[in-house]
Every structure is written in structure tokens, then in C-alpha cells.
């Protein structure tokens, strides 16, 4: 069914030889943007990440070619250069290309690298933002990103860059700000990150919450404290993909979650 023109401005058509970088949100298909659904209906080549829910792909047109190009830490993954070459090649074939990425393409999604490759190849592209898991997952768990009671800023950080002395110093500097930190892709490096946070001045009793498989049927939420974060994560068997919130705002879940009706 087309979207009503009485409500929405005209939707842009996806032209042959054009690439759209589209965010698929945190997982639940109901959290897709309307523009993302429109893009799925338009594309005849779709290149998608591992974190895109399979139900979302069922919104694609019947004749669409679908390419898996997932990147998962510690597992065989598509190389970014190969993904760039694929979307460029498909566009040069005159295809209407949808690069579908979990969350938001420009928040730890390497969308900027893909956009640069498209510019260098002379290929027009469009960006369709999506709900990034670092904000959506905590919100749906009863944890506001900001609150006047706890914080006026929030830091989003990618945890897989934790190795080495320089990385450790970066984590210490982030901890010294005193602002809540939302970690993506951090479970494997969690011991190093937590140690650096504590060296940077975060107390062991700082509230912390892990949200695994956010918005999915296997979602798990673990509430703990910074000093117990590593041991509790190990004992609970929490697995990626996961978002970790460290800071005073994580404690708001105790008050807000009980009355929350989930989507």
C-alpha cells in the first residue's frame, strides 16, 4: 500500500545507478523508519549486514537481488573494501542499490567509508538515518540517554578499539568526564575497558546495564555495577550483540522500567 500523500511529502524515487545508505534500526521491524520501508520497496539490489532482522528483508520487492555482507567480531566477515566494491559495481550496472545496515549507517556503521567510496566513484547516494542501538536499546529498557536528574550529556563509544596503551588512555579520559558512556561492541574487551574506567576515576559502584539482542525475541538485560560488570557478564553468559550503559542514568531503570509497556 502506498503511503498517503495527505500525510507525507512526496517520497524520492530510487534512480538506477543510485545507492541509498539506510539504517534498519536496532532489530525489531516495527522500529524501521517510513523512509526505510519505502527504500526496501524500491531497491532491486540489497546489500545487508548481519544485524538486520530477516523479517525486514521480506519487505523487499520479489525481484530484488539480496547480498549478505555481514561483519561480526571474531568470525569470518566481509571486508569493508569488498563491500565498497560491491555497491559501486552494482550501481554501475544501473541497479537501484540499498545498503542496509543495522542501527544508523553513520553511527559505528562505516557508512562514512562507503559514502566516500561512492563519491570517489562518482555515484550519487542518499542517507536514510535509523535508530541506533546505543540510544534505542537503553530507552526501551527504561534508561534515558539524558535526564536532568543525572546527566546533560552522553558519550557513545566503540569498545572494540580498546587494545593498547593509547586505547587505555582514551578510556581513562572518557571516564574522567563523569558523563554516562554507552558502549557498542565491547564485550570482548570489557576487562580492559572497566579497568581503564576505574583508573580514570569511575567508582566501582557506578551503575551499569548490559542489553543483549535489543528488541529481539532473545533480548536479555543485566543490571549491575561497574566493579562487578565483568564477572556478572561472564556468569550470566551474556553474548553479543550487546550495548552497555555505564553511568548514573543506568540507575533510572529501577524507577522507569516497571511501568513501561514495550512495543
Residues labelled as active-site residues? 49, 71, 185
Output the nine-digit C-alpha cell for 94.
544501473
CA gap 87, 89 in Å, rounded: 5
Cβ burial of 206 (10 Å; 0-12, 13-18, 19+) is buried
| Alpha carbon 214 to its chain's center | 10
Q: Is 3 exposed, middle or buried (0-12, 13-18, 19+ CB in 10 A)?
A: middle
Q: CA 138 to CA 253: how far, in whole Å?
A: 9
Q: Counting Cβ atoms within 10 Å, is residue 263 exposed (0-12), middle (13-18) or buried (19+)?
A: exposed
Concatenated DSSP letters for 98-126? EEEESB-TTSSS-HHHHHHHHHHTT--EE
Paired strand residues for 58? none
CA dist 145 → 8, 204, 250 (Å): 29, 21, 9
Cα–Cα distance for residue pair 36/170, rounded to 1 Å: 35
- Residue 121 contacts residue 7 (beta carbons within 8 Å): no
Amino acid at each position: 500500500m502506498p503511503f498517503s500523500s495527505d500525510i507525507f511529502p512526496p517520497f524520492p524515487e530510487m534512480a538506477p545507478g543510485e545507492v541509498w545508505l539506510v539504517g534498519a534500526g536496532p532489530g525489531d521491524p516495527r522500529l524501521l523508519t517510513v523512509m526505510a520501508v519505502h527504500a526496501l520497496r524500491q531497491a532491486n539490489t540489497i546489500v545487508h549486514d548481519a544485524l538486520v532482522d530477516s523479517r525486514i528483508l521480506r519487505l523487499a520487492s520479489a525481484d530484488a537481488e539480496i547480498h549478505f555482507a555481514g561483519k561480526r567480531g571474531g568470525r569470518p566477515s566481509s571486508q569493508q573494501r569488498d563491500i565498497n566494491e560491491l555497491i559501486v559495481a552494482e550501481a554501475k550496472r544501473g541497479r537501484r542499490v540499498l545498503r542496509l545496515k543495522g542501527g544508523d549507517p553513520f553511527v559505528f556503521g562505516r557508512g562514512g567509508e562507503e559514502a566516500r567510496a561512492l563519491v570517489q566513484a562518482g555515484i550519487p547516494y542518499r542517507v536514510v538515518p535509523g535508530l541506533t542501538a546505543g540510544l534505542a536499546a537503553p530507552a526501551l529498557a527504561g534508561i534515558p540517554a539524558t535526564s536532568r536528574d543525572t546527566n546533560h550529556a552522553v558519550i557513545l563509544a566503540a569498545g572494540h578499539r580498546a587494545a593498547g596503551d593509547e586505547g587505555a588512555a582514551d578510556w581513562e579520559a572518557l571516564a574522567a568526564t563523569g558523563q554516562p558512556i554507552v558502549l557498542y561492541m565491547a564485550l570482548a574487551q570489557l576487562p580492559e575497558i572497566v579497568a581503564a574506567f576505574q583508573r580514570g576515576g569511575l567508582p566501582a559502584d557506578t551503575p551499569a546495564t548490559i542489553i543483549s539482542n535489543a528488541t529481539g525475541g532473545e533480548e536479555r538485560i543485566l543490571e549491575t555495577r561497574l566493579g562487578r560488570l565483568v564477572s556478572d557478564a561472564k556468569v550470566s553468559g551474556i553474548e553479543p550483540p550487546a550495548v552497555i550503559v555505564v553511568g548514573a542514568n543506568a540507575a533510572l531503570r529501577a524507577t522507569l522500567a516497571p511501568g513501561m509497556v514495550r512495543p
